[in-house]
Amino acid sequence: MHDISPETLRFVEENAPDFVLAVQHAKEVANQKQKPAKLKVVLDTFEDDPFLLYACLWLALSEGVQIRLLAR
């Protein structure tokens, strides 16, 4: 999969700014510990919006952050 498109990135930044910050934080922590970047996310974060879920996962993948989805 190629890097996230600029349009989709703007969509995530506007609709899930906390997710963007969490991805950036996960990368910083991983770099400090020299480990893979990982982030646990509750599925409710995406407000029953399948495109938002897809876009956020695409952002995380583009940034090299592994996502673990949690039910709660």
In a domain, 43, yes or no: yes
- Number of domains forming the structure of the chain: 1
pLDDT at position 66: 97
Q: Residue range 10-23: average pLDDT?
A: 97
Spatial separation of the C-alpha atoms in residues 72 and 67, rounded to whole Å: 14
Q: Is the pLDDT of residue 13 over 80?
A: yes
In a domain, 1, yes or no: no
The boundaries of the domain holding residue 19 are 6-70
pLDDT at position 72: 81
